[in-house]
Amino acid sequence: MTTPRLQLTGITKRYPGVVANSGVSLTVAPGQIHAVLGENGAGKSTLMKIIYGSVKPDEGAVMFNGQPVHVRNPQEARALGISMVFQHFSLFDTLTVAENVWLGLDKSLTLAEVSASIDVTASQYGLDIDPKRPVHTLSVGEMQRVEIIRALLTNPQLLILDEPTSVLTPQAVEKLFVVLNKLASEGCSILYISHKLHEIRELCTACTVLRGGKVTGVCDPREESNASLSRLMIGAEPPALEVRALNAGAAVLEVHGLTLASDDPFGTDLADIALTVRSGEVVGIAGVSGNGQSELLFALSGEDRRAPAGSIRVTGKDASHHGPGKRRALGLHFVPEERLGRGAVPTLSLAHNLLLTRRDALGAGGWLKLGALKAQATDIIQRYNVKANGPDAAAKSLSGGNLQKFIVGREIEAKPKLLIVSQPTWGVDVGAAAQIRGEILALRDAGCAVLVVSEELDELFEISDRLHVIAKGRLSPSMDRADATIERIGEWMSGLWDAPSGAASEHHKKETAHAAA
Amino acid sequence: MLRLEVRPQPSARWGYASPLLALAITVVIGVILFAVLGKDPVRGLQVFFWEPIKSTYALSELMVKATPLLIIALGLAVCFRSNVWNIGAEGQYLIGAIFAAGVALTADKTTGPWIIPAIIVAGILGGMFWAGITALLRDRFNANEILVSLMLVYVAIQVLNFLVYGPWKDPLGYNFPQTKTFESVTQIPKLMQGSRVNIGLLLALAGVAAVWVFLFRTYAGYGQLVGGLAPAAARYAGFSSRKALWIALLTSGGAAGLAGALEVAGPIGQLTPYVPAGYGFAAIIVAFVGRLHPVGIVFSAILMSMFYIGGELAQSRLGLPKSITGVFQGLLLFALLACDTLIAYRIKWSK
């Protein structure tokens, strides 16, 4: 047997109050694409940081190419031939691609030489990118290419990718997989961190599953099913969702002619958005982040009140200039993407965080009834199965998934007529995600209108009745979920719904014909 | 080697212990300072920490100094908790004093006791007016409130100088830059005979309760807190940041103006160029040492008042310069900022 590229034995890392890794062992062969699968909080990130040298393990040994090594910092890791592409990019928006790559390299090369080697690497792996373009003009997928090129220029023997597909369109994911397979065929080992089961089964040749900081299984993902992998990952199969027949009623949210310039210089301007959500249906908006989702949600929630008069109607009333409080009074409740700092105040207790959107524990003159508030919070904690240290626990002491359950519970318990949810299960583990989707569907069945904005196509397919795609600040026409395919959505994500190409345009013509008739 | 390690949760215990440790460090450095200056450290500590509390009269003087500090710091606590950085309480205090003096100067032998509430209201309005300028510039032109409020302190000082050197100068005052002594009817009523403590102390204690209720038991106060802790969450909830700005500045300005009125119509009794005593700046330290909590501020106001009195005594008893007060105030603030590290971090020894 050949010497493994990387071998971890008995890695343990304790943080105050939590053991992030407990006796973790992992072996990666040369040229292997090795998946590290686990829920949020399973210890994947800590393990990768240990390999990359930014965290020191308390116990355990690291062997690289058969030699015991003590990686003390990322520079040493890169010198050994270990590179990492982080989930959140570390690029300077105002610099060009070449300048950004140059910043991360030894200063032995000139900028021109770096540009030349970017071109060579880019063409070698099919990672098209112009080194002279400023980073803020790139799409997210292109930014990721810059990060990968930066990693490749150090000639790595081991490349670590942390949730690389979370921001990509399906087409971009396929391109990425081609690149990774080529790299692996040349002998570079790849550690692929993800919780997306189908991707791992498609791409990886080995898989180590983590749960609660411990290894719960080592397998060949190509021989496993989604169900068997998720059993290893969460200890049980995720509860299946039952989707019932559509029973849509009157329009609750009507958006028409919503054109709005972004107040952020790097933001996306909204152009002539039209959208209807009826009671009893879930409408999904797909799209790669940064295409106007946050601007649209700001305008819908009332956090941005500059929408043209009459462009946003809630239960038939013009709400375009209303603030969030007035819109809530009309029955519009909103779960934002950022939980800490926007959906909840990090340092305040869960009970106090109820007051952000709920006013039912207020007495005369705005007096806070703390007892009622705590009872309400306790109720939500129990009903939504939130793991928290009681109603007095600070919001930031909860894990992302549990805080999301609490926030979703807070908005659902307000009995909204229209619920708008952004990234309902972003960064949430599989069990909690299934629960949140279940709650959303239950709300829909109870006659609420629901608008979901998400980057996760699987999720939108699972819960939506109709789908829109947002691209570059424009919103596509809606399609029934039955007509939606990954390919068509992917095409629309590039903004191609009215270009005369393929099925998408035919469908669009049909729709406009309907509208004209 | 000493190493700082992030605590999983901020320590509540250190939230309380940090000001005490900061005080201890201040005392230790103070002792070293006295020794270096060739003074007896025990005598020095006595002057600062024992003399101000050793008799009823000393205690009452302690209260006289603590009252304005407490009132201003209460207003600042609301302001700072709303993430609005009003550094110019000294200026609002001065304009409050000037407005109050304007009313007090209208009194003559026939004036009734209604003048007292009029003086107090005028002081509050004066402070609000001065803070309102900052609020307006921030609201309309997005001017930085730290700079604007600070610079307005110096404008306020010039306004005071203009009045006492010019139109309000006492014609019988041998050309000294001061107004005439106010009529006795304008004197803020004293609490007891033989001391200078007046009803301002009661107003201050009522203020403690009012600020506590406002911040922790009302929806409006909750909105202010959220605006300070997480502006994006306040926007999401629909709390207006403009409203929060105006409430914060008008509250702190009004409090500072009230303190100015109580001071000028109380212990001072006339307007002189020496009205600005630095209470507005010291109150910033009082507010932070008191953890921006109304009850904590009571203790820190008393402590800071001790430093004022100790500094005055140190001049006569130990022959030290008056700036020793400022040294102690600064030491305490820096020690507190350092000790606050322990709330979020713990110290670890490692090889």
**CB distance A319 to A256 below 8 Å:** no
A406 in Cβ contact with A378 (< 8 Å)? no
Question: Pick the residue with more confidence: A498 or A380?
Answer: A380
Amino acid A350: pLDDT: 95
Confidence of residue B65 (pLDDT cuts 50, 70, 90): very high
Across the interface, do A348 and B226 touch by the CB < 8 Å criterion? yes
pLDDT reading at A511 higher than 50: no
pLDDT at A157: 92
Chain A, nearest residue to B346 by Cα: A16
pLDDT band for position A391 (50/70/90)? very high
B241 CA to chain A: closest CA distance, Å? 11
Predicted confidence (pLDDT) at residue A106 exceeds the cutoff of 90: no
Asked if pLDDT for residue A517 goes beyond 80, the answer is no
Question: Residue ranges of the domains in chain A?
Answer: 6-234, 251-331+416-516, 340-398
**In the prediction, which pLDDT does B247 show?**
96
| Residues of chain A neighbouring B210 (CB-CB closer than 8 A) | none
Q: Identify which of A343, A355, A359 has the shortest CB distance to residue B236.
A: A343
Q: Does A321 touch chain B (CB under 8 A)?
A: no
* Domain assignments of chain B as residue spans, ordered by start: 68-290
pLDDT of A189 > 50? The answer is yes
CATH 3.40.50.300 fits A251-331+416-516, yes or no: yes
Using H for helix, E for strand and C for coil, what is the string for A272-320?
Answer: EEEEEEECCCEEEEECCCCCCHHHHHHHHHCCCCCCCCCCEEECCEECC
- B110: exposed, middle or buried (Cβ count in 10 Å: 0-12, 13-18, 19+): exposed
Q: Tell me the C-alpha distance between A509 and B96, whole Å.
A: 71
CB contact under 8 A, A341 and B230: yes
Contact A17 B8 (CB under 8 A): yes
Q: For residue range A331-352, list pLDDT tens digits in order.
A: 999 999 888 899 999 989 999 9
Q: What pLDDT is attached to residue A140?
A: 73
- Cross-chain Cβ contact B230/A346 below 8 Å: yes
Q: Which residue has the higher pLDDT, A344 or A360?
A: A344
Is residue A251 within 8 angstroms of chain B, CB to CB?
no
Mutate to test the interface with A, among B4, B236, B239, B243 (most CBs of A within 10 A): B236
| Residues of chain B contacting residue A359, judged by C-beta atoms under 8 Å apart | 219
Nearest chain B residue to A371 by CA: give it: B217
ipTM of the complex: 0.83
Token pair 């106060």 is found at B221
What is the pLDDT at residue A244?
63
Give the range among A40-44, A68-72, A148-152 with minimum mean pLDDT: A40-44
CA distance to partner chain B, nearest, from residue A71 (Å): 18
Confidence of residue A504 (pLDDT cuts 50, 70, 90): very low
Q: Is A399 on the interface with B (CB under 8 A)?
A: no
Residue A1 has pLDDT above 50, yes or no: yes
CB contact under 8 A, A368 and B220: no
Whether residue A505 has pLDDT greater than 50? no
- In B166-278, where does DSSP find H-type helix? 200-217, 219-229, 231-237, 241-263
User: Worst-scoring range by mean pLDDT, A69-83, A155-169, A309-323, B305-319?
Assistant: A155-169
Give the pTM.
0.76
C-alpha dihedral (A316, A322, A324, A325), degrees to nearest 10 = -90
Q: In whole angstroms, what separates CA B46 from the centre of its chain?
A: 25
pLDDT of residue A243 exceeding 60, the answer is no
pLDDT of residue A509: 44
Q: Which of A154, A176, A141 is nearest to A101 (CA)?
A: A154
Q: Is B167 exposed, middle or buried (0-12, 13-18, 19+ CB in 10 A)?
A: exposed
DSSP B194-209: TS--BTHHHHHHHHHH
Question: Quick one: pLDDT at residue A333?
Answer: 96
Q: CA nearest B227 in A: which residue? A: A345
Chain B neighbors of A303, CB-CB under 8 A: 235-236
Does the distance separating the beta carbons of A346 and B229 come in below 8 Å?
A: yes
Q: Which residue of A has its CA nearest to B218?
A: A367
Distance from CA of B1 to the nearest CA of A (A): 17
Residue B170 has pLDDT above 80, yes or no: yes
Q: Nearest-CA residue of chain A relative to B8?
A: A16
Same fold, A6-234 and A251-331+416-516: yes
| Interchain pair A16, B7: CB under 8 A | yes
Q: Which residue has the higher pLDDT, A97 or A503?
A: A97
Q: How far is B261 from chain A (nearest CA, A)?
A: 30
Q: What is the dihedral of CA A226, A227, A231, A237, to 10 degrees?
A: 130
pLDDT tens sequence across B229-286: 999 999 999 999 999 999 999 999 999 999 999 999 998 999 999 988 899 999 999 9
Q: Report which of residues A311 and A140 the model is more confident about.
A: A311
Counting Cα atoms < 13 Å in the Cβ hemisphere of A329 gives 8
Q: Which of B8, B216, B238 sits opposite A302 (nearest CB)?
A: B238
Question: How far apart (Å, rounded) are the C-alpha atoms in residues A352 and A368?
Answer: 9
pLDDT of residue A17: 63
Whole-number Å distance between alpha carbons of B253 and B76: 8
Q: Which of B189-193, B256-260, B340-344 has the highest mean pLDDT?
A: B256-260
Q: What is the pLDDT of residue A323?
A: 94
- Does B106 lie at the interface with A, CB-CB under 8 angstroms? no
Residues of A in contact with B8 (CB under 8 A): 15-18
pLDDT of A40: 66
Whether the per-residue pLDDT at A503 is higher than 50: the answer is: no
Helices marked H in A204-277: 226-234
CB contact under 8 A, A15 and B8: yes
DSSP A468: E
Residues A445-466 pLDDT 10s: 999 999 999 887 878 888 999 9
The Cβ of residue A60 has, within 10 Å, a number of other Cβ atoms equal to 17
**Residues of B with Cβ-Cβ distance to A326 under 8 angstroms:** 238
- Contact list, A348 vs chain B (CB under 8 Å): 225-226, 229
- Over residues A247-256, the mean pLDDT reads 90
- Digit-coded pLDDT (tens) for B78-135: 999 999 999 999 999 999 999 999 999 998 888 889 999 999 999 999 999 999 999 9
Q: CA of A88 to nearest chain B CA: how many angstroms apart?
A: 21
Judged against a pLDDT cut of 60, whether residue A506 lies above it is answered with no
Does A431 have pLDDT greater than 60? yes
Q: Which chain B residue has the Cα nearest residue A358?
A: B237
> Coil, strand, or helix at residue A373?
helix
**CB-nearest partner of A368 from B218, B226, B232:** B218
Residues 202-231 of B with CB under 8 A from A: 216-220, 222, 225-226, 229-230
A343 close contact with B: CB closer than 8 A: yes
Give the H or E element holding residue A8. strand A6-15
pLDDT score of A221: 87
Is A58 in CB contact (< 8 Å) with chain B? no
Cα–Cα distance for residue pair B112/A287, rounded to 1 Å: 74
Q: Could you tell me the pLDDT band of residue A56, with boundaries at 50, 70 and 90?
A: confident
Q: Flag if A359 and B236 touch (Cβ within 8 Å).
A: no
Q: Which of residues 2-41 of B touch A (CB under 8 A)?
A: 5-9
Q: Is the pLDDT of residue A18 over 80?
A: no
Output the DSSP codes for A332-356. Answer: EEEE-S-TBTTTB-TTSBHHHHHTT
Q: A363 in contact with B at a CB cutoff of 8 Å?
A: no
Name the average pLDDT for chain A.
85
Q: At residue B228, does pLDDT exceed 70?
A: yes
- Report the chain B residue with the minimal C-alpha distance to residue A14: B8
Architecture of domain A6-234: 3-Layer(aba) Sandwich (3.40)
The residue ranking higher by pLDDT, B126 or A397, is B126
> Count of A–B CB contacts within 8 Å?
72
